[in-house]
Amino acid sequence: MTLQTRPADVRAVPSTGTRLPGLDALRGLAIALVMLTHAHSERFGSGGMIGVTLFFVLSGFLITGLLTRDLERFGRVRWGRFYGSRALRLIPPLVLVLAAYAVVEGVIGLRGGPSMLGLTIAAALTYTSNLPLIPHGSGSFFHLWTLATEEQFYLVWPVVLAVVWRRGRTRLAVGAGVVGSLALCLLSIGYEWPDTARVYALPTSWSIALFLGCGLRLGLDRARRVLPGSTSARRILAGGIVLVFLTVTATPGISGSPWMYLVAIPAVAVASGVLILLAMEWRRPPRVLVALGTVSYAAYLWNLPIQQWLGDPMTLGGGLLGAALTLAAATASWWLVERPVAALRRRWQSGQTAPIDREAAPTG
């Protein structure tokens, strides 16, 4: 991995529709870890936890950047622009994979079959796949709980931030979010005890990662001053975090342990925040990770359904086939759906100042 850096500069934060290749590389790393777990959960059981946590921290960091930019320039959040851009970014690729699902499971009859069709599509499009006591449909779309968690968070966080911004209480809001997340997670674990794994997809189990990403963006300048000053030390630190992530990926999953939610996820979120700060300075990150990060949202949408449609083989051959089909579907989604919709979004925004940053797609 070539981690060539430049001195930290607040101007390195994407602001006008640009993309930072280092952050795309982190998306590529995150989706690669998730795909490893989907391919063979027994061998790479913790990769999904690390990848999803990294996605959440990135999402909180970037979306908060968009919101604060509006607040700084206009004194308010432009709600229609914010949510309109989110919808155009997220929904078209989701509709494409749901159309494929309707054919594979609804018509051909694989996995859940046509009886699950309505429930699956409803849960996906209403972003309720992470809520208990609500039917979610086919297990091929269990992974949509992450999108549900993000979108529910972004119904609440922009309103909270807009209020506390005027009162200078942003640190208090983030601190309350972190403490509240841990408290609610602990209550959820206690309620489900001893079957701790039941809290896995609950929003309270992962919201701390989103809040830490928000706090990182709000305290960006202060956080940067904590980093090592020399380029070599920063490279070693970044490489060390990536090495730890890869090592932990090869350990069994711990979703049934309360320590995953109360210790592991917060620790990975903090390490992800450090990695984000370092990645913003990378000039030439690995091209394969940048390319993978560019299509990471579509890859995330397609990977679990494809693995399930293959019969969840849990073999090297099955994993490679699933990865190849995932990348083919994600690339097709990028060219046929995401790029045209991105052009439409840019035209929609062209008459306004301070265009919304393309860098801030939550998982893609």
Quick check: 51 and 30 in contact, CB under 8 A? yes
The pLDDT assigned to 113 comes to: 83
The pLDDT assigned to 351 comes to: 57
Look at residue 356 and tell me whether its pLDDT is greater than 80. Answer: no
Quick check: 90 and 362 in contact, CB under 8 A? yes
Q: How far, in Å, CA of 26 to CA of 59, rounded? A: 12
Please, is 156 exposed, middle or buried when counting C-beta atoms within 10 Å of its C-beta (0-12, 13-18, 19+)?
exposed
The pLDDT assigned to 111 comes to: 84
Q: Which residue has the higher pLDDT, 229 or 24?
A: 24
Q: pTM, whole model, 2 decimals? A: 0.91
Look at residue 347 and tell me whether its pLDDT is greater than 70. Answer: yes
CA 165, chain centre distance (Å): 25
Q: Count CA atoms within 13 Å of residue 200 on its CB side.
A: 16
Which of 79, 120, 93, 80 has the alpha carbon at shortest distance from 363? Answer: 93
Q: What are the angstrom distances between the C-alpha of 214 and each of 48, 63, 151, 154?
A: 21, 8, 15, 11
Diameter of the chain measured on Cα atoms? 59
Give the DSSP H or E segment for 152: helix 145-167
CB atoms within 10 A of CB 160: 16
Residue 133: pLDDT band (50, 70, 90) is confident
Q: Which residue has the higher pLDDT, 165 or 14?
A: 165
Q: How far, in Å, CA of 278 to CA of 362, rounded? A: 19
Look at residue 14 and tell me whether its pLDDT is greater than 90. Answer: no
pLDDT tens digits, 298-312 = 999 999 999 999 999
Q: How far, in Å, CA of 315 to CA of 165, rounded? A: 51
Residue 9: pLDDT band (50, 70, 90) is very low
37's tokens: 């777990």
Residue 118: pLDDT band (50, 70, 90) is very high
Q: What are the angstrom distances between the C-alpha of 102 and each of 25, 143, 224, 324, 329?
A: 32, 17, 47, 22, 16
DSSP state of 142: G
Residue entry with tokens 């990848």: 51
